[in-house]
Amino acid sequence: MPRRLSPLLHSLGLVAALAAAPAAAAPSHGYSPFGDLKYAGDFGHFDYVNPAAPKGGTLRLSAIGTFDSLNPYIIPGVAVGEGLEFSPMSLVYETLMVSSGDEPSSFYGLVARTIDVADDFSSATVAIDPAARFSDGTPVTADDVVFSFQVLKAKGDSNWRQSLAGIGQVAVPAPGQVRFDFVPPYRRSGPMVVANLPVFSAAWWQGRPFDRPSLAQPLGTGPYLVDKIDAGHTVTFKRNPDYWGRDLPVNRGRFNFDDIRYDYFRDRDVDFEAFKAGAYDWREEFTSRFWATGYTGPAVARGQIRRDTVPDNRPSGVQAFFPNLRRAKFQNIAVRRALDLAFDFEWTNRTMFFGAYRRMASIFENSPLAAHDWPDAAEISILERLRGQVPDTIFTGPYAPPRSDASGEIRDRLKAARDLLDQAGWTLKGGTLVNQAGDPFTIEFLIDEPTFTRIIEPFIRNLARLGIAATIRQVDPTAYQARREAFDYDIITQRFGLSPTPGDELRNLWGSAAADLPGALNLAGIKDPVVDRLIEAVLDAESRPDFVTACHALDRVVMGNEYLIPQWYKGEHTIAWWDRFGRPRTAPLYTIGHVDTWWFDPRRSAATDAGTPLPAAADGPGDGNVTPPSVGAAP
């Protein structure tokens, strides 16, 4: 059977053959957009858990910044877990289905026992598990699910409103069932949105404003309850002994800690020292100098603190400087290329990061979705139809950011940058770069913590050699979030993680509709009809090979237009922990799993507290005692 590309690509005349219609739908225990479920309907547990893991103990974690809300689904406020890889509020609020940690795009029943997807993907009907309960013992009803959809679509943040815009109507065809009717064109990604829908209690929210920050202890269906809160400083989650779903196959061997506590710090250095002093138990290291030089002292030497490097099989995400295209000075691609030339990554990597980074060159870095090679025939057929609408450089080879010899001398690059700025209408007058109206070229880099100051300052010095007056503006986390949501910045730094099979979030990151939507993640303000068409092509893909092809094309266009100044990435997680825990022999492929699959080991913890730690555990995926990696540390 010939490969089938998306209906959008067919409509563009890019391919001619169509495959047969999808097989007839039936209620299923799981869903994958390309039909490749790993686990059968009678599976006992995920392969990456220890189903006999003991329950008990406390996991102490940290976060940087502050919080004033327990609602992560709205724009106002700073929610607990803002910016963390694992959202702690997912311990309280469950979704209809749950993704597995060893598959790229599979979901299995949680609050919803089954899902029935129409043959043409025009609808998805979920059957609620009759045992599903909120933490107060009240049953989850179809009305709760309908309410959850309606309140998120009306009052949720821009990401939720955009994702749910593809659902036109929600109905209750029978008790305990909810049908979601999708808006044409119908896509395989639609049921993924349904699977990820969190479930709220309509009765609990009655009379409460959903769209305002609140620290009221919420009512959810999840395995944990919010136990103690010290606003902006600490939040503790307590395992619910009456959790309705503890024996579900998707939960066996998971959620093993009695308590999970997050302590907040305003400064990364203070945070790190607190860890070394034993104030909390586990951290992922995002600072390369700490990983390379900071793990010293008796606790490390004795093995009380252990370290490991865990492969990251997800797209590493996007970490970049985002110039704000809503401001005229950044709208010319020549200007954006000039700015990229002024950022000397290689020197920064050598002098500040201990050679620990790789330069990001793709919006899907560290995954098969990254377009690092020459396009194949299927992709060429797409790109050729776009010739004249995309930069010519897309046809001269894979995107590659500028490189230096790491000496710090980039005179030739700055000369090339000056020529580009001149082409864009910016000229030097008395050492100041001005436009035809005589306005100087200024840039304000917006940050919310001092870590990036040392990275931006050398960039600023290079910009000054071009006549650009650049400054750093550091504000507190609350003000930073408000300015970010209002797109009130010149250039901002952000990192976005992606799933192995990204879907509707691509619209929020790169789509025109999100460019002026407050709180959206399209930080650059991209309004490019070609990008919009390629996003739809990704969403319309009907096989994984076609999905990869469409992602490659989207990647080349976003990177080729220089919509961002790429920073760096790593292809693994560098983690450290006080030796108090056990972990499964098999690690999940797409998560670290420390929150939901590790467990507290009283014997190891007692030995660590006594200063006589036990040998490295044999039940974990690594030996827990590693040297710093040559690549992959963060700044």
Q: Is 184 exposed, middle or buried (0-12, 13-18, 19+ CB in 10 A)?
A: exposed
**CA dist., res. 527 & res. 544, Å (int):** 27
- Per-residue model confidence as pLDDT tens digits over 211-238: 999 999 999 999 999 999 999 999 999 9
Q: Provide CB contacts within 8 A for 462, sequence distance 6+.
A: 342, 343, 344, 410, 414
pLDDT attached to residue 252: 98
Q: How confident is the model at residue 635 (pLDDT cuts 50, 70, 90)?
A: low
Distance of CA 54 to the CA centre of its chain: 30
For the residues 495-517, what does the mean pLDDT come to?
92
In 10 A of CB 622, how many CB atoms?
Answer: 17
pLDDT attached to residue 619: 52
Question: Which H helix or E strand runs over 230?
Answer: strand 224-230
In 10 A of CB 227, how many CB atoms?
Answer: 14
Q: How confident is the model at residue 150 (pLDDT cuts 50, 70, 90)?
A: very high
- Per-residue model confidence as pLDDT tens digits over 589-634: 999 999 999 999 999 999 999 999 999 865 555 433 333 332 233 3
String of DSSP letters for 542-597: -SHHHHHHHHHHHHHHHHHTT-SEE-EE-SEEEEEEES-EE--SS--SS---TTTT
pLDDT attached to residue 292: 93
Sheet containing strand 305-311, edge to edge, reads: 282-284, 572-578, 305-311
- Per-residue model confidence as pLDDT tens digits over 301-345: 999 999 999 988 888 879 999 999 999 999 999 999 999 999 999
Q: Are 470 and 464 in contact (CB under 8 A)?
A: yes
Helix (H, G, I), strand (E, B) or coil at 413: helix
What tokens appear for 461 in the block? 């010095």
**Range name among 11-15, 208-212, 272-276 with the lowest pLDDT average:** 11-15
**CA dist., res. 462 & res. 579, Å (int):** 45
Interior/surface letters 31-69, b for 16+ CB within 10 angstroms, e for the rest:
bbbbeebebeeebebbebbbeebeeebbbbbbbbbbbbb
**CA dist., res. 57 & res. 61, Å (int):** 13
For the residues 17-30, what does the mean pLDDT come to?
57
Average pLDDT, rounded, for the chain: 91
Partnered with residue 582 across adjacent β-strands are: 599
Q: How many CA atoms lie within 13 A of 580 on its CB side?
A: 19
pLDDT attached to residue 121: 95
pLDDT attached to residue 618: 53
- Per-residue model confidence as pLDDT tens digits over 71-126: 999 999 999 998 888 899 999 999 999 999 999 999 999 999 999 999 999 999 99
- Per-residue model confidence as pLDDT tens digits over 168-216: 999 999 999 999 999 999 999 999 999 999 999 999 999 999 999 999 9
Instruction: Print the SS3 string covering 150-178.
Output: HHHHHHCCHHHHHHHCCEEEEECCCCCEE
pLDDT attached to residue 627: 31
**CA dist., res. 74 & res. 501, Å (int):** 24
Phi first, then psi: what are they for 281, rounded to 5°?
-105, -30
Q: Are 580 and 299 in contact (CB under 8 A)?
A: no
**CA dist., res. 260 & res. 442, Å (int):** 45
Q: Is the pLDDT assigned to residue 254 strictly greater than 70?
A: yes
What tokens appear for 488 in the block? 């009130």
pLDDT attached to residue 317: 78
For the residues 418-423, what does the mean pLDDT come to?
98
Q: Is the pLDDT assigned to residue 376 strictly greater than 80?
A: yes
Q: Is 362 exposed, middle or buried (0-12, 13-18, 19+ CB in 10 A)?
A: buried
In 10 A of CB 447, how many CB atoms?
Answer: 19
Domains of the chain: 7-205 (3.40.190.10), 318-569 (3.10.105.10)
Task: Pick 49 or 397 by higher pLDDT.
Answer: 49
CA nearest 322: which of 86, 558, 570? 558
Q: Are 257 and 57 in contact (CB under 8 A)?
A: yes
Interior/surface letters 310-337, b for 16+ CB within 10 angstroms, e for the rest:
bebbbbbbbbbbbbbbbeebbebbbbbb
**CA dist., res. 120 & res. 116, Å (int):** 12
CA nearest 86: which of 311, 262, 274, 281? 262
Q: Is the pLDDT assigned to residue 417 strictly greater than 50?
A: yes
Q: Is 499 exposed, middle or buried (0-12, 13-18, 19+ CB in 10 A)?
A: middle
Beta-sheet pairing, 259-265 with 58-64: parallel
Instruction: Print the SS3 string covering 294-308.
Output: HCCCHHHHHCCEEEE
pLDDT attached to residue 2: 31
Helix (H, G, I), strand (E, B) or coil at 139: strand
Interior/surface letters 559-573, b for 16+ CB within 10 angstroms, e for the rest:
bbbbbbbbbbbbbbb
Eight-class DSSP state of 280? S
Q: Is the pLDDT assigned to residue 166 strictly greater than 70?
A: yes
